[in-house]
Chain A
């Protein structure tokens, strides 16, 4: 599946002209998948996920501007900045459920308000944003985002199919039993948290590289968190394909009608979220899985002769 994804995004620019749409779609696949790593596999829903994206974008840009690092290295630096922010915020993992989500949202707002503060205009550009045109290289940044998107999906595959991932699922279902079975809950959670932040940071770095001139709102806007959450939820969290499906379908829909009519789109999104929470908490993919398991159960019954 990863190969297919890679092939699609490598070949499409040859036949389809709207490169920025493809780039943004990859960004959202990476973000939805990165959010899925945390929410789908540990149950922590990071409302302020965009904070790591912004940290990555600013980390990358400041490295280019002040340390004059080559852009690809600076993207890695952006990822490191996000991981550093996640380490500082790791005590948030002691909170549960909605407390974690809101505290995480507040943390991302604090980062935004610091970066966009007029008092720091000399360093971070304050509300006027940053300009790293000297590093602009659309082909390279497209490639970087492709790699990051694949990386995020690969990590999700790893979580689905490894012993580590099995441990994660066990501790979401029943933390006490998981702990007794010898899973180090605190450490596993921290690893997932940092991995998830790294994905957002790297994506933020490449995003900044690609657009090269931006305001703080462009990389810290709550809308980015919202999109990532909706895309992941729509497809189905805890799976690999769910967030990809959600991001591709809904972002295509957004670019078709959302840009010209943003309010109607926000309304539609809100409604979609309400419906998902009420009727389909496991996402669209679960529809097919449910049917498949029902079918296989029926087959099994028929084979064993039990009706």
Chain B
């Protein structure tokens, strides 16, 4: 029973964090109808940002959050205007953007290896607090709670942006129908750029906590994170940022329970969940993604 409670509390924390991992991908997909296959690589960059801050500048890795936001603007703005308008005029935007972002992912990974080396790097957990908090008699280190807290705040921020601001309304309008939004006079390019930057920033913020929750960060971790993110947003239904929380919790609990009871099989969880879900409800998930958001 003790083991079960451990998996339960750990799964919820892990799952909340993974909602943050997935939400950026979901936002970008919802607005641009493009799959950012380099999502995991941007998360990885966030992790290395935190690592550099701590290792070379002796700052608290949590400042990586600011760095992630700045980085997202610096990368996202030129990236959008360099590729997106051109892709949207092409004959098959969905597939070509998929291929393009895949190429981008390869480039980021190669650059990260050139700059940081291929080794795994870890950060001492004490930098985010040396204590631990217990729930149901199960103690988890502070870093896990900080990660979950930041995740909840970030997701809340996305929710408020989408439901309380003018730009958020415009964003939801584009998610529902791009052509209509354009016809109503919404500056689609501007709103989409902001969505892309937010997506990248959320990825970077999630990356800051990867060394703490996954134990280490390395340049080749990106593909795994992209696939996990994809599984999470499909479970929580595409194009609905809040659904991502449900996806993250299913993923977190599933992983933790497997890790507790069948540890050697736990790394199959995200892939198996992904395949099972898309096979059981392909039409449903896909249809809903197109109609509402």
Interface residues of A (CB under 8 A from B): 43, 45, 91-92, 94-99, 101-103, 105-107, 109-110, 113-114, 117-119, 222, 226, 229, 233, 263-267, 269-274, 276-278, 281
The answer to whether A267 and B286 have CB atoms under 8 Å apart is: no
The answer to whether A274 and B104 have CB atoms under 8 Å apart is: yes
The answer to whether B114 and A277 have CB atoms under 8 Å apart is: no
- A-B contacts besides A106-B270, A233-B99, A263-B113, 9 pairs, CB < 8 Å: A92-B275, A95-B286, A98-B95, A106-B227, A267-B107, A271-B103, A271-B107, A273-B102, A276-B99
Inter-chain CA distance A229–B102, complex, in Å, is 11
Inter-chain CA distance A43–B98, complex, in Å, is 13
Shortest distance between the CB of A65 and any CB in chain B (Å): 22
The answer to whether A272 and B103 have CB atoms under 8 Å apart is: yes
Shortest distance between the CB of A124 and any CB in chain B (Å): 13
B68 at the interface (CB under 8 A from A): no
Shortest distance between the CB of A7 and any CB in chain B (Å): 34
The answer to whether B227 and A119 have CB atoms under 8 Å apart is: no
Bits for B85-99, please: 1 = Cβ < 8 Å to A, else 0: 011001110111111
Inter-chain CA distance A43–B96, complex, in Å, is 11
The answer to whether A103 and B278 have CB atoms under 8 Å apart is: yes
A-B contact count (CB 8 A): 122
Inter-chain CA distance A95–B270, complex, in Å, is 18
Shortest distance between the CB of B113 and any CB in chain A (Å): 5
Inter-chain CA distance A247–B272, complex, in Å, is 32
Inter-chain CA distance A269–B105, complex, in Å, is 11
Within 8 A of A (CB), among B257-278: 264-265, 267-268, 270-272, 274-275, 278
The answer to whether A278 and B264 have CB atoms under 8 Å apart is: no
Inter-chain CA distance A219–B283, complex, in Å, is 33
Inter-chain CA distance A99–B96, complex, in Å, is 14
Chain B residues with Cβ below 8 Å from A263 are: 110, 113-114
Bits for B66-101, please: 1 = Cβ < 8 Å to A, else 0: 000000000000000001001100111011111110
Inter-chain CA distance A222–B224, complex, in Å, is 11
Chain A residues with Cβ below 8 Å from B95 are: 43, 45, 97-98
Inter-chain CA distance A152–B279, complex, in Å, is 29
Interface residues of B (CB under 8 A from A): 35, 83, 86-87, 90-92, 94-100, 102-111, 113-114, 223, 227, 230-231, 234, 264-265, 267-268, 270-272, 274-275, 278-279, 282-283, 286
B91, B96, B268: the one contacting A114 at CB < 8 Å is B268
Inter-chain CA distance A95–B230, complex, in Å, is 14
A110-B272, A273-B106, A274-B103 known; A95 vs B282 contact (CB < 8 Å)? yes
Q: Chain B binding site: helix, strand, loop or mixed by DSSP?
A: helix
A91-B279, A103-B275 known; A98 vs B98 contact (CB < 8 Å)? yes
The answer to whether A266 and B110 have CB atoms under 8 Å apart is: yes
Inter-chain CA distance A229–B95, complex, in Å, is 13
A103-B274, A110-B275 known; A98 vs B110 contact (CB < 8 Å)? no
The answer to whether A270 and B110 have CB atoms under 8 Å apart is: yes
The answer to whether A113 and B267 have CB atoms under 8 Å apart is: yes
Shortest distance between the CB of A273 and any CB in chain B (Å): 3
The answer to whether A113 and B274 have CB atoms under 8 Å apart is: no
Inter-chain CA distance A276–B186, complex, in Å, is 31
Q: Considering only CB atoms, which chain A residue lies closest to B103 in the complex?
A: A273
The answer to whether A110 and B98 have CB atoms under 8 Å apart is: no
The answer to whether B279 and A102 have CB atoms under 8 Å apart is: no
The answer to whether B279 and A110 have CB atoms under 8 Å apart is: no
The answer to whether B100 and A94 have CB atoms under 8 Å apart is: no
The answer to whether B107 and A277 have CB atoms under 8 Å apart is: no
The answer to whether A266 and B103 have CB atoms under 8 Å apart is: no
The answer to whether A99 and B90 have CB atoms under 8 Å apart is: no
Chain A residues with Cβ below 8 Å from B105 are: 270
Chain B residues with Cβ below 8 Å from A229 are: 99, 102
A113-B271, A263-B114 known; A96 vs B104 contact (CB < 8 Å)? no
Inter-chain CA distance A91–B278, complex, in Å, is 9
Q: List 12 A-B pairs, Cβ < 8 Å.
A: A45-B98, A45-B99, A98-B98, A222-B223, A263-B110, A263-B113, A266-B106, A273-B102, A273-B106, A274-B83, A276-B103, A277-B96
Chain A residues with Cβ below 8 Å from B108 are: 270
Chain A residues with Cβ below 8 Å from B234 are: 99
Chain B residues with Cβ below 8 Å from A278 are: 83, 86-87, 100
Q: Considering only CB atoms, which chain B residue lies closest to A89 in the complex?
A: B275
Shortest distance between the CB of B132 and any CB in chain A (Å): 31
Interface centre among B99, B109, B114 (most CB of A within 10 A): B99
Shortest distance between the CB of A253 and any CB in chain B (Å): 15
Inter-chain CA distance A91–B277, complex, in Å, is 12
Chain B residues with Cβ below 8 Å from A105 are: 227
Chain A residues with Cβ below 8 Å from B111 are: 267
Chain A residues with Cβ below 8 Å from B114 are: 263-264, 267
Q: Considering only CB atoms, which chain A residue lies closest to B117 in the complex?
A: A263
The answer to whether B282 and A99 have CB atoms under 8 Å apart is: yes
The answer to whether B271 and A270 have CB atoms under 8 Å apart is: no
The answer to whether B94 and A277 have CB atoms under 8 Å apart is: no
Chain B residues with Cβ below 8 Å from A102 are: 35, 227, 230, 274
Shortest distance between the CB of B39 and any CB in chain A (Å): 11
A91-B279, A105-B227, A266-B110 known; A110 vs B268 contact (CB < 8 Å)? yes
